[in-house]
Amino acid sequence: MSDTYAKLHADCAALGTRLFTVTVQDEAAGLARRSYTSHPVEYPASGTKPLTRDGWYDQCIGARQVFVANTVPEFAKYFFDHALITSLGLGSCINIPIFQQDGPVYGTVNLLAEEGHFTPEKLEAYGALIGRDHAALVSAMAHI
């Protein structure tokens, strides 16, 4: 599991990702559990956050679509920790849901960078990395 996450983290960092986390959905508990982090002080791997049924949840978990926010106002309304994110010099993010065709969303891969980072070309490159590692991500997330 950690090898899959660590390799994906390194490859995403090479594209410009500055903060990388993986969270696993725990619908029964109403939580997202962080299972990997590039920033263990600010975002420890043991951390959780509530699953709030909002626009982010509807798009990323409900509709299984990548959430993209290239400015702070686009994500601040959904992320209670937006002040911490901006204090790290980060101003954009994508959250990529990981799921099997007819199964639940197991979790998300979360990438943050400076404002405006996630251009269409970058989104395509990140999507290719997730596609490459999809089976390993599903396996890692489904067994937590």
pLDDT for position 35? 94
CA-angle at 78, arms to 74 and 82, nearest 5°: 75
pLDDT for position 45? 92
Tell me the mean pLDDT per 10 residues along the chain, length 144.
Answer: 88 98 93 95 92 95 97 96 96 97 92 98 97 94 78
Q: List helix spans (H) across the chain.
A: 2-14, 55-57, 72-76, 82-87, 120-142
The CATH number of 2-142, from 1.10.3720.10, 2.40.50.100, 3.30.930.10, 3.30.450.40, is 3.30.450.40
> Measuring CA to CA, which residue among 105, 98, 93, 89 is closest to residue 68?
93
Distance from C-alpha of 121 to C-alpha of 48, rounded to nearest angstrom = 31
